[in-house]
Structure 1
Amino acid sequence: MNIVGPGLVRTAQAPESRRDHALRLGFLGVLGVASVITLLGVVLVLGAFRNDQVIAEHHGTATALVEQTTFDRTLIRYETPDGVSHSPENGVLYPDGLTEGQLVRIEYDTTDPALAKVAERTWLLTLLPVTTTLLFTWLVAAPLLWGLRSRLRARIATPVVA
């Protein structure tokens, strides 16, 4: 018995070939990876926006000393008005362009001094790197998805001879 649909002819009980299965898995894999990267980018921007909101709700300012800069974070040390010294474990938000030994004006959450950002820098700084990453992700994923889908459709449209 044949199933006939728009551009589709296939034997009703013919099992999916290994190649069809591999193409389908490849399609789902590429789509999954690109989707996860997109989700992570959106969550990153939303997280930066939320951090800025929290800092604005309980706003404090201080001058901080940049102690260490690495590829993944910039460590600072600053003192709050109550005389307590703080060094956020995860570093400062929006540290681009800071160098060790530099004094920098920061804004921090007075209820959680570990949440600090460079003064006058906002979540908008995350948009360029995130959108660039997403653009390149989909520039690579879209042709791969199109190619895999085209191959899969071509194989499905070809009559399977039993």
Structure 2
Amino acid sequence: MIARRLRQLVIVLYGAVVLMSIGMVGAAIMNDHAISSNPGRALARVTNEDWLRTTVEFQDERGIFHVPPSGLLYPSDLGVGQRVWVNYSTANPDLVKVEGRNWTLAVIPALSVFTVASAIGAGLWWFIGHSSKIRALDTLSQPVRQTSKAH
């Protein structure tokens, strides 16, 4: 019973990671579509770069300066102070990406997450099936059957 529940937990967690991997690519496709539906182009300056996001500032076609709070899409190989051409959505200037980069850059990170999750899930599945402690707990969790003697 315990092994079965643990395997169900592994399946649920693995399914969540698979959905996250699909979502990573799906969100990138949707963002690219939103930008290409209302395209704008500007020269941006990288103002901050950390492990979570790369921040840029740029001036749109109306002369308004923007600093998207969620950062820049596809920011690899950029440094603070660097100037880079960006494409943004004129309907939502906070949605901005490096010019020439697209959703396909999200495929490798998504596949990496999927691969690591598959390896961990397979390892846990094997461990649950081969662990003597889990088998012992399963044995202990079985209801005790009483036999009645006929007189």
Instruction: Provide the TM-score with structure 2 as the length reference.
Output: 0.83
Which residue does 1:148 correspond to in 2?
A: 128
Q: Is the 8 A contact 2:40 2:61 kept in 1?
A: no
SS of residue paired to 1:126: helix
Which residue does 2:98 correspond to in 1?
A: 118
Aligned-CA RMSD value: 2.2
Which residue does 1:83 correspond to in 2?
A: 63
SS of residue paired to 2:69: coil
> Pick from 1, 5, 10: which aligns with 1:30?
10
Show structure 2 runs of 5+ residues with no match. Answer: 146-151
Which residue does 2:149 correspond to in 1?
A: none
Q: Is the 8 A contact 1:31 1:145 kept in 2?
A: no
Deviation at 1:28, TM superposition (A): 1.6
CA deviation profile, 1:1-48 (whole Å, cap 9, x unmatched): xxxxxxxxxxxxxxxxxxx3x212211222111111111111111010
Instruction: Provide the TM-score with structure 1 as the length reference.
Output: 0.78
Which residue does 2:35 correspond to in 1?
A: 55
Which residue does 1:39 correspond to in 2?
A: 19
Show structure 1 runs of 5+ residues with no match. Answer: 1-19
> Greater strand percent: which structure?
1
Q: Percent identity?
A: 29
Which amino acid is the alignment partner of residue 117 of structure 1?
A: K
Whole-angstrom distance in 2 between the partners of 1:108 and 1:161: 67
Whole-angstrom distance in 2 between the partners of 1:79 and 1:39: 36
CA deviation profile, 1:116-160 (whole Å, cap 9, x unmatched): 00001001001001101101111121232244357789x79xxx9
Which amino acid is the alignment partner of residue 91 of structure 1?
A: G
Q: Is the 8 A contact 2:58 2:67 kept in 1?
A: yes
> Pick from 63, 87, 98: which aligns with 1:107?
87
Which residue does 2:116 correspond to in 1?
A: 136
